[in-house]
Structure 1
Amino acid sequence: MGANTSSKSPAFDGNEDVTFDHFEILRAIGKGSFGKVCVVQKTDTKKMYAMKYMNKQRCVERNEVRNVFKELQIMQGLEHPFLVNLWYSFQDEEDMFMVVDLLLGGDLRYHLQQNVRFQEGTVKLFICELVLALDYLQSRHIIHRDIKPDNILLDEHGHVHITDFNIATVLTKDSPVTTIAGTKPYMAPEMFSSTKPTSYSFAVDWWSLGVTAYELLRTRRPYHIRSSSSTDEIARVFQTAAVAYPAAWRPDMVALIRKVRGWGARCSCHSQPLPCTVGSACKWSGQLLELNPEKRFSQLQDIQSFPYLSDVNWDAVLQKRIMPEFIPMKGILNCDPTFELEEMILESKPLHKKKKRLAKKDKDTSKSNSSQASHLQKHLEMLQRDFIVFNREKVRPHHDSIQGIMTKSGGPHREDNQNNNL
């Protein structure tokens, strides 16, 4: 896909809107239900980003425009060290574009498929970083609803970042969330109701985190649930299935993921074996894979006060001063190379030929308009009118806002050796 967009970098005015012309397309790195992703370089600053692009006609035909707009709205208000942050959004005649942080370490699904065996210390740090991100989303009243290895990207140093907000939703007191949304093997039990829709809250993301942590440690999920499983089948699995935990796992990690009687770890609440036998009154009565959302860990303070994580320096985690044990391979993109081949060979409207294609289309507008169905054309015009253009650099300086998040509880950045290991 590479340097076919321009042989010479044009000069851009810093006040003009960012468009497709501001970027050089380097290569394709991924695709999803809503679009494709490529690596780009901004021609004026030489900064590298990931660009997600979604074909307008396809989105209209599949009734996905509303979800795209909702994702844009949500991402414009977010900025956090452990999220994939939005930088720009814009459109042209064919596509909608979202330009986000480029993470070169690949997603956790890719590494699982490469037979990586994540050690407990690595997963422990992943959990700490992810709960900080979930706590931030919760403070913004956002439920992600699709936490899974596929949607967790690593940067080049091995830190995690949550991506893909296309089914995220905002929870308010006036509008409870009841819609079944997500990836079934990672969805919480309360999202499946055989009788009537039941409302759920932020705890569904923490259940998904528990499933993900288990899968990273064992390379398979705790419950045998498929995407094709019916609601009744899934409800039955939760009622009857027993989750197995390898004897090699540390009791503290098991206690964090799921309540299991008989382990030697002690509850600091009542000096009982974990889980505490005192019952629901005990503050350790629920962990990540607790079936009852009312008892499940679903707040940062639940995790921070858990004995297994009581020695973590959370400021150091937030400031990425704790070095991960697993570092992705450098010099490669850590993604499936077939994405590039598909874009080059199979895509009917490849991105790297867009400029020539649109120039040719402009010369033949009358033919294009006459062949376009009126219903589709109407929706495309509405999309063109209502699309949300965004430029983070114009909103506020990225560096200052990130520093504000990273130092909100720990003061200015400081280099120290205070408990920087998990």
Structure 2
Amino acid sequence: MEELQDAIEDAQYVNAMSDEGPKPSKEWPYPDKPTLDAWKSSKSKDFWAVEKLCEQGMPLYMFSRYVKEETQSSTEMMFIEDCCRYRRLYGNVARGAHCKQMLEVFGGSSPPDSVDMLESNLERLTHGDYEPAEIEKMTSETVGKGSTCIGLGGPLWDAVTKSVADGNFPDNLWDKVDEVVFTGIVGKTGSGFANSHLFEKMMQFLYLQEARVEEEDFALFRVLGRGGFGLVNGCKKCTSGKLYAMKVMNKKRVKMKRSEQLTLNERVALAAVDSAFVVNLKYAFVSEVDLFLILDLMTGGDLSFHLSQKQKFTKEESQYYAARIMLGCQALHDKNYVYRDLKPENILMGDDGKVKITDLGLACQITPTLHGAAGTRGYWAPEMLRRDKKGKKMPYGHCVDWWSFGCMLAEFISGVCPFRSEAALKYGQSKGKQEKEKAIDLATLEMEPEWDPESFDADAADICAKLLIKDEKKRLGWGGCNEIMDHPWFKEVNWEMIISDRQEPPYIPPKDVNAASQSEIGQFSEDKTFKKTTLEDKDHDVYKKWNWTNPRSFQSEVIEFLMYEKTTGRPLTPPKAQGGGCCTIS
């Protein structure tokens, strides 16, 4: 019966992954008018200014829809959207191509009559110091008079054109033109938007963004993995139909292992790091029994699973995975975090073949006194094991991650981690350490790996050797990931495409359950210790700041939902209930 149930849950999971478009199973809990009005009155007047609202993704989307559907300013709005896209691009090639396209689509040469007034007042415009009447006067006199299709030319436009011709593409390239055009649109359409049904819908979603998320808001699929304190399941947000992963940590198990601070560290680190190369936290909430983290759903399995299938990766695969992992580590380092548990099991693949770092349970802020071995034996760095003359553990920093990265890169190339190998075990035992763990630790401290030429060409052997230098100050990566990126082994990598997240992956996983069977993953047993452990008020108080919603992720979820509604031309409503709640998958 268990095998049959597993097969049914596997089929449900695969079908959910294959569905086109979101399939909600629960209505959005929109507030009634008195509740919404009370919430709105709690906000400052400045909060509801269109310019302020449009600094967020979902309000900008709603305003754009209003402008395109209800006014004659759709060209200007498309220009604003293109400016937003430009800022998200990386590298001269991508930005240059985008700029040239923008100049062709929106360009012109004749300046508006009052461009001098525009430039002299630009600082006031940027800081929002204009009175509404001034904005209306400025808009009527400038935007709409140029020969460009957005009604603006002259020195502002010429400065952009010159920068593009010179091959200079700074982040702020379009800022001045963007500001003037957007202010013009707001002047013409802002009051209409504020009285529209789209504005009302936007307010409802902004209210929901601040609402508490609970376990009942998600429908569960099959188990995907097992952590130290609970299971990881595929799940669906009932209101939007968006698919995520749900990591559950049982409070009793956390207490039994005295790991409250570790779980809090993971929650804080996930919220702090926003990177395309690290699994992103969407929601965090807590119940009387469990802690919940809602994360990116990576349906392609972990790299340990794929290594077990392939034995080792091709050079193209190794370079692609290593490049993304490196940038994920650097994103953590940039926030002053050290990851400390880099290994193939902690690298997840999406259904598109892109990989991300997951499980930030051991990530922590770097301090001058950070010390102690953490992570997985055979991947942890020698400085985690060293002691000073007095026998005290020595401090370390971000460079422990580059050691683990070197171990993992060698494993990608050869199929074997250098310090989890027979060679490492024999080395330690030959030095008198007969216990496996102590033998591996000694090898980590002293052994210099050999690089088999059948697997490692000269560049591969060189980069792995330099990443595994015992002295962290001499190790490749000590000065940041740019040192590693510049190594000849990566010379074929298009870093602009990788960093902008546009590089096509070398392998796309099958639309299947790319994870261990549910019987292999297993369940947690409730032994005597577990049953005897009780939770007191102080055990719940530890997590009083646990609840969190990622504003950017929530708004992206809403935009995806609304765009699909618009495409289909009908409201996305859940099917009529046949009994049970939203957590029943039919």
User: Which string of whole-angstrom CA distances, capped at 9 and with x for unpartnered residues, describes residues 9-62 of structure 1?
Assistant: 244234221111111111111002132100000011110000000111221122
Deviation digits for residues 191-219 of structure 1 (CA, Å, limit 9, x no counterpart): 11253211111111011011111112211
Q: Please point out which of 452, 456, 459 is paired with 1:249.
A: 456
Equivalent residue of 1:18, what SS?
Answer: coil
State the secondary structure of the residue aligned to 2:322. helix
Q: Is the 8 A contact 1:178 1:198 kept in 2?
A: yes
Structure 1: which amino acid aligns with 2:403? Answer: W
Contact 1:210 1:288 in 2 (8 A): yes
**Corresponding residue for 2:472?**
293
Change beyond 3 A, Cα 1:170–1:340: same
CA distance in structure 2 between the aligned counterparts of 1:232 and 1:112, rounded to whole angstroms = 25
Aligned 1:373-392 pairs, distance under 5 A = 376-383=535-542, 386-392=544-550
Matched, 1:66 2:261: yes
Letter in 1 for 2:494: N
Determine helix, strand or coil for the equivalent of 2:234: strand
Identity of aligned residues (%): 27
Alpha-carbon distance in 1 for matches of 2:246, 2:476:
35
SS in 1 for 2:341: coil
193 and 229 in structure 1: CA distance in 2 versus 1, 3 angstrom threshold: farther
Give the conservation status (yes or no) of the 8 Å contact 1:192–1:231. no
Q: SS of the counterpart of 1:165?
A: coil
Q: Deviations over 1:293-321 (max 9, x none)?
A: 11111212202322332453322102232
1:21 corresponds to which letter in structure 2? E
Counterpart for residue 234 of structure 1: 441
Q: Which residue is 1:316 aligned to?
A: 497
Within 1, Cα distance between the matches of 2:271 and 2:521? 32
The question of whether the paired residues in 1 share the 8 Å contact of 2:451 and 2:461 is answered with no
Unaligned runs of 5+ in 2: 13-23, 31-204, 426-434, 558-586
Change in Cα spacing, 1:69 to 1:185, as seen in structure 2 (3 Å) is: same
Equivalent of 1:9, from 16, 26, 30? 26
Structure 1 residues 79 and 52: alpha-carbon distance in aligned structure 2, compared to 1, 3 A threshold: same
AA of the residue aligned to 2:454: A
8 A contact 1:118–1:326 mirrored in 2: no
What is the rounded CA distance, in whole Å, between the counterparts of 1:374 and 1:240 in structure 2?
44
Q: For 1:178 and 1:94, locate their aligned partners in 2 and report how far apart those are by CA, in whole Å.
A: 32
Q: Secondary structure at the match of 2:352?
A: coil
Q: 1:182 aligns with which of 368, 375, 383?
A: 375
- CA distance 1:305–1:347, shift in 2 (3 Å): same
Q: TM-score, normalised by structure 2?
A: 0.54
- Name 1:360's counterpart in structure 2: none
Distance 2:533 2:253 in 1: 16
The 8 Å contact of residues 206 and 297 in structure 1, kept in 2 or not, is answered as: yes
Preserved CA contact (<8 Å) 2:249 2:290: yes
Matched, 1:204 2:400: yes
Once the two structures are TM-superposed, the CA of residue 229 in structure 1 deviates from its matched residue by 4.2
Q: Structure 1 residues 395, 107: CA separation in 2 closer, same or farther (over 3 Å shift)?
A: closer
| Distance (Å, rounded) in 1 between the aligned partners of 2:436 and 2:520 | 32
1:219 aligned partner: 415
The Cα of 1:334 is off from its aligned counterpart by 0.4
Paired residues, what number? 339
Aligned partner (choices 177, 180, 192) of residue 385 of structure 2:
192
Question: What corresponds to 2:340 in structure 1?
Answer: 145
Which letter does structure 2 place at the counterpart of 1:179? G
CA distance in 2, matches of 1:210, 1:234: 16
Report if aligned partners of 2:380, 2:400 keep a CA contact under 8 Å in 1: yes
- Say if 2:329 is the partner of 1:134: yes
Aligned partners of 1:60 and 1:379 also within 8 Å: no
Higher helix share: 2
> Which residue number in structure 2 is paired with residue 266 of structure 1?
none
C-alpha change, 1:229 and 1:53, in structure 2 (3 Å) is same
Map of 1:108-127 to 2, 5 A cutoff?
108-127=303-322
